Amino acid sequence: MQQSAEENVEWHRQKLLRLIADWSSDQRSFKTASWRKTMMWIFLVSDTFIFSCFLISYMTVRMSTAVEWPHPSEIFALEIGGQKIPLILIAIMTFDLITSSGTMALAVNYAYDKKRKPAAILLVATALIGAAFVGMQAFEWSKLIHEGVRPWSNPFGAPQFGSCFFMITGFHGFHVSMGVIALLVIARNVWRGDYDVGRQTSYSHRTGDYEIVEVMGLYWHFVDLVWVFIFAFFYLW
């Protein structure tokens, strides 16, 4: 059904009023968000600032350095069957990580339906795909190191290339690795049914529930999204 212009304006007006009402109400400002979900969102905003600072610094040194920047399609090429294919590994890695976002989303869905088995399996699958990503990254690192790229030097041009590349992909890879660990822990909890029986799930002596899977998902999608930016700035620029 087509919405008329007035209806549209009215809808937005209602939405705005709702927002103001929520914020000026007591107890909670986000009426539908739990504590842990709010906390994760705010953490991700803060983390966004960290990644932004890293990426902006990367752009700055890339512009300030006097030596030429290596060409991405050459330095990131992989030799397969005697042929150099530019950006092939990175294409696979990106595809891999985006796939893991898909399995994560499915896991969240099953967790809310309290279908423990498929949820746990999908969580483990997400973790494995994430681990594969880290593995491929390790492969790329070792290839570059093998070719002589170091954090402090780079035979193909500006030494800052190596510095930025290892630092930023390393920091992102650290995020993915932490995520993999968290995914495995949550998968175990889901599998055991901790969230059904109200078992204390961590040192905090709190009992968890299936929403943890969704909060985990927020983190995972964020890490995925950050990768898209890293990908664009490092490999396409």
Partner 1 sequence: MSDITIKPDEQVPPAEVPEMELFHSHSWWTTYVFSQDAKVIAIQYAATAISIGVLALILSWIIRIQLAFPGAVSFIDSQVYYQSVTMHGMIMVVYMLTAILLGGFGNYLIPLMVGARDMVFPFVNMLSYWIYLLATLVLATSYLVPGGPTGAGWTLYPPQSILTGTPGYDYGIIMMLVSLILFIVGFTMGGLNYVVTVLQARARGMTLMRMPLTVWGIFTAAVLALLAFPGLFVACVMLLLDRLAGTSFFMPAIVEFGEHKNYNGGSPILFQHLFWFFGHPEVYIVALPAFGVVSDIISVHARKNIFGYRMMVWAIVAIGVLSLVVWGHHMYVSGMDPTFGFFFAITTLAIAVPTALKVYNWVLTLWRADIHFTTPMLFALGFLVTFLNGGITGLYLGNVIVDVPLSATLFVVAHFHMVMGIAPVLVIFGAIYHWYPKITGRMMNETLGKIHFWITFVGAYAIFFPMHYLGLLGIPRRFYEMGQTAFVPDSAHTLNIFITVMALVVGFVQFIFFYNLFHSLKNGKPSGGNPWRAASLEWQTPETPPGHGNWGETLPVVYRWPYAYSVPGANQDYLPQNMPPIKGEHII
For position 8 contacting partner 1 by CB under 8 A, the verdict is no
Stretch that binds partner 1, among 32-40, 105-113, 136-144, 188-196 (CB under 8 A): 32-40
Please report how many Cα atoms fall inside a 13 Å half-sphere around the Cα of residue 197, on the Cβ side.
Answer: 9
Instruction: Please list every residue from 77 through 136 that binds partner 1, using CB under 8 A.
Output: none
Instruction: Give the nearest distance from C-beta 42 to partner 1 in angstroms.
Output: 6
Candidate list 1, 24, 81, 82; residue touching partner 1; CB under 8 A: 24
Stretch that binds partner 1, among 7-15, 23-31, 97-105, 121-129 (CB under 8 A): 23-31
3-state secondary structure of 8: helix
Stretch that binds partner 1, among 9-17, 47-55, 111-119, 127-135 (CB under 8 A): 47-55
Instruction: Give the nearest distance from C-beta 62 to partner 1 in angstroms.
Output: 10
Q: What is the CA radius of gyration of the chain?
A: 22
- How many residues are present in the chain? 237
Instruction: Give the nearest distance from C-beta 179 to partner 1 in angstroms.
Output: 17
Residue 206 backbone zone (phi > 0: left; psi -120 to 50: alpha; other: beta):
beta
Instruction: Please list every residue from 136 through 195 that binds partner 1, using CB under 8 A.
Output: 151-152, 158-160, 162-164, 167, 171
Q: 140: exposed, middle or buried (C-beta count within 10 Å: 0-12, 13-18, 19+)?
A: middle
Question: Which residue number, 35 or 83, has a Cβ lying nearer to partner 1?
Answer: 35
Quote the CA–CA distance of 104 and 100 in Å, as a whole number: 6
Size of the site for partner 1 (CB under 8 A): 48
Instruction: Give the nearest distance from C-beta 194 to partner 1 in angstroms.
Output: 15
Quote the CA–CA distance of 29 and 235 in Å, as a whole number: 41
Strands (E) in 61-163, as ranges, are: 78-80, 83-85
Instruction: Give the nearest distance from C-beta 7 to partner 1 in angstroms.
Output: 30
Of 204, 62, 12, 173, whose CA–CA distance to 212 is shortest?
Answer: 204
For position 39 contacting partner 1 by CB under 8 A, the verdict is yes
Q: What are phi and psi of 9, to 5 degrees?
A: -60, -45
How far is Cα of residue 103 from the mean position of the Cα atoms in its chain? 13
- Binding residues for partner 1 (CB under 8 A): 23-31, 33-36, 38-39, 42-43, 45-47, 49-50, 52-54, 57, 60-61, 64-67, 151-152, 158-160, 162-164, 167, 171, 202-207
